[in-house]
Structure 1
């Protein structure tokens, strides 16, 4: 993808955190960007803030990645408005943590439905449009998708799944001209899991760093595909 002006991106969970940082980066390339959120207030507020950048065009949509029909509707709205889809960033995710003895069935199901099935639904819904443009799928996994930890049964399962699923989909569609990559961040300064970012998070990866990484991916020569990228803070606090 060598020219970006007028290209169209869909970012799930784009109203804050990593998704918002990616939206900023793509808008700075004069792209047209649709962001989704589960709530209308969040989608509208974020779209308004992003519009103030004065670059590209922004569309805020209400969509729930846990529902395949909801994802198809979001794609259809984008196609009706802008006529194409070039990039999908499957970013929406949640985190529920705790010992298997304490982890509720509801929290297990919500984590898998959002983090794993939600990525599958997003890609499945977007793929026909992306095949037409020979576009790009980028999933946001985690270092927790290769490194397990105590209390991470649900989150690890979902992110291990995203990592493996993305790599398999990459093999499924690369001969159709669709590129697929997964980004696996370590600690990121976002509102994830009800965290409130502060100066204490300055050592962490920042949301704009992931935005820069997405831009670097889509700017690469089309013959080259970094299919799995691990990214971590360069200087975490010493224990």
Structure 2
């Protein structure tokens, strides 16, 4: 089992939901964590809730490459390195394709897909230097299309294809790449407010534990794509 204590992780979209849940579990597992979001007040609030000196709050919009470059600079200045990158930031806008606005299409592609590329592009030198791990959060919507999901499906199908191709490109540098494809998760996605009715769903901490399992796995093993669903339906 790999020792992951004192490794440094960067989580985009880390202020709530899946990203926040992963950040909490990684901190509990001995990692140092940087979390980012578009609104610095939200990021600082999340940092306070995590309650650790080993958290760095960063304002970054992943659709802006320069923001991600600056994020990496802040991480290296604070922690000295970067070992693990979790591209989690995402948005969802749902409508029939003939009614889907250009604004909503561009928001999903720019954040969910181009943002994933920006995050890897900005961090890849650190990942090469430390034989790191890059994890993207896709979705079962990255392999299962559905009505009203044309834009979201396109972005998540793209994330799956991008991460799998990146895995083939980067394993020559001993960088691991995995895409995690969750089904129903208790989160704030699409303005949802979590409640007790979400207890049957995957919890953000479950995905955090999955990330820890990946990081601790034998270096010779690479689960490159993981589909994960709730164990039961509602």
CA RMSD of aligned residues (A): 0.9
Contact residue 38 and residue 60 of structure 2 kept, 8 A: yes
Please say if 1:34 is aligned against 2:34: yes
Quote the residue 2:164 is aligned against: 167
Distance (whole Å) between structure 1 residues aligned to residue 49 and residue 232 of structure 2: 31
Deviations 1:84-127 (A, max 9, x none): 00000000000000001211000000000000000000001000
Quote the residue 1:49 is aligned against: 49
* TM-aligned CA deviation for residue 5 of structure 1: 2.1
Distance (whole Å) between structure 2 residues aligned to residue 183 and residue 19 of structure 1: 13
Quote the residue 1:102 is aligned against: 99
Quote the residue 2:142 is aligned against: 145
Number of matched pairs: 234
SS in 2 for 1:235: coil
Equivalent in 153, 174, 178 of residue 177 of structure 1: 174
* TM-aligned CA deviation for residue 82 of structure 1: 1.2
The gaps in structure 2 that reach 5 residues or longer are none
TM-score by length of 1: 0.96
Quote the residue 1:154 is aligned against: 151
The gaps in structure 1 that reach 5 residues or longer are none
Distance (whole Å) between structure 2 residues aligned to residue 132 and residue 29 of structure 1: 23
Quote the residue 1:195 is aligned against: 192
SS in 1 for 2:99: coil
The ranges of structure 1 where at least 4 consecutive aligned residues each deviate by more than 3 angstroms after the TM superposition are none
Quote the residue 1:217 is aligned against: 214
